[in-house]
Amino acid sequence: MDPLDNRQLQLRDDGRLRHFLTIDGLGRELLTEILDHAESFAGVNERMVKKVPLLRGKVIANLFFENSTRTRTTFELAAKRLSADVVNLNIGASATAKGETLLDTLRNLEAMHCDMFVVRHPSSGAAHFIARHAAPYVSVINAGDGRHAHPTQAMLDVFTIRREKGDFSRLRVAIVGDILHSRVARSQILALNRLRVGELRIVAPRTLIPEEARSLGVHVFHDIHEGLRDVDVIIMLRLQRERMHGARLPSEHEFFQRYGLTGERLALARPDAIVMHPGPINRGVELDSAVADGAQSVILKQVGYGIAVRMAVMSMALGPDAAREAS
């Protein structure tokens, strides 16, 4: 899908956010607005009453066709901190593999007057499909679709970078690991380029880099020692164990030997570099325990920031009721 279509599908006529499906097609200004709002919401998480009345009376449905405890929980907490009501639906992917069933699910939830669907699905394009067929007053947030996109994860990652390191233009960022299977990496690359990061590197074996990588505006490294030299931010990706049977990699052990983040390798980066990971981490596969729990790790901060970023996206997409009033 080209960026123009993504823009049209995601934005209202006045340029405001309606659906949040992919970073593609969204401008730097809108991404910055999300980060600014998240900054305000981060304050709410530190108060006595961790709740604002913004989305009182709204109903948000978490539609998870694929398991993800952390993502679902942070979306749920974000919705609750905005005072929305939340329903969680864990739908076995096999039972709803057909488009028809998915639409039926959709119509039922619309009949229950849901205002927003947060969708996690193993198939690329599922959130787009739902957004295209949803009633005009419903907003759709993509919480990860297949190998395609995970835009709220990317936004919480760039939010973490901005909070911890400041101005993007001065920064060198390295994304390390299984780029090929990673919707997170795809969204991160789009977001970091849109926000004009100084230099963006991907570090991975040839077999785990998508063919189109060089057109993504990144520097490709196959040697982790070269790739980490003087970087400000290291983003480790989760090795998708469930997708490793494809024999693209000999073993987890070998992966750690060649691409795992150890204290020694971390020392190649700038002394104040931060280590990030979208979780869940595989200790001893992507990174050493000492690094994961070390002073430079911001992995647990990312989780907290994820709530603030999701609050920002939800409140922006569920803003004015114009569509509902008109329908």
Partner 1 sequence: MKTPTKLFMTATAVHAMLDGLARELAAHLDARGIEAPPIVGIHSGGVWIARALAERLGERAANEAIGELDISFYRDDFTRIGMNPQVRPSKLPFELDGRDIVLVDDVLHTGRTVRAALNELFDYGRPRSVTLAVLITRAGRQLPIQADVAGLEPRVGDDEHIILRGPQPLELYLGERGDKARAE
Please state the closest distance from residue 62 (CB atom) to partner 1, in A. Answer: 21
Stretch that binds partner 1, among 1-9, 215-223, 295-303, 311-319 (CB under 8 A): 311-319
Would you say 33 or 85 has its CB closer to partner 1? Answer: 33
CB nearer to partner 1: pick between 30 and 234: 30
Minimum distance, C-beta of residue 59 to partner 1, in the bound complex (Å): 14
Kindly tell me which of 40 and 108 has the beta carbon lying closer to partner 1. 40
Q: Cα 150 to the chain's mean position, in Å?
A: 4
8 A C-beta contact, residue 146 and residue 123: yes
175 touches 201 (CB < 8 A): yes
Q: Which of residues 2-61 bind partner 1 (CB under 8 A)?
A: 16, 33, 36-37, 39-40, 42-44, 47-49, 51-54
Check residue 125 for interaction with partner 1 (CB under 8 A): no
Q: Give the neighbor-by-neighbor strand order of the sheet with 233-236.
A: 219-221, 199-203, 172-176, 233-236, 274-276
CB of 47 vs partner 1, minimal distance in Å: 6
Q: How far is the CB of 33 from partner 1 (least distance, A)?
A: 6
Buried/exposed 96-105: b ≥16 CB within 10 Å, e otherwise: beeeeebeeb
If binding is defined by CB under 8 A, does position 326 make contact with partner 1?
no
**Contact, 152 vs 305, CB < 8 A?**
no
Considering beta carbons, is residue 47 or 98 the nearer one to partner 1?
47
Residue nearer to partner 1 on the CB measure, 26 or 200? 26
Q: Are 44 and 51 in contact (CB under 8 A)?
A: yes
Q: How far is the CB of 118 from partner 1 (least distance, A)?
A: 18
Residue 321 CB, shortest distance to partner 1, in Å, is 5
Q: Is 135 in the site for partner 1 (CB under 8 A)?
A: no
Note the residues at the interface with partner 1 (CB under 8 A): 16, 33, 36-37, 39-40, 42-44, 47-49, 51-54, 315-316, 319-321
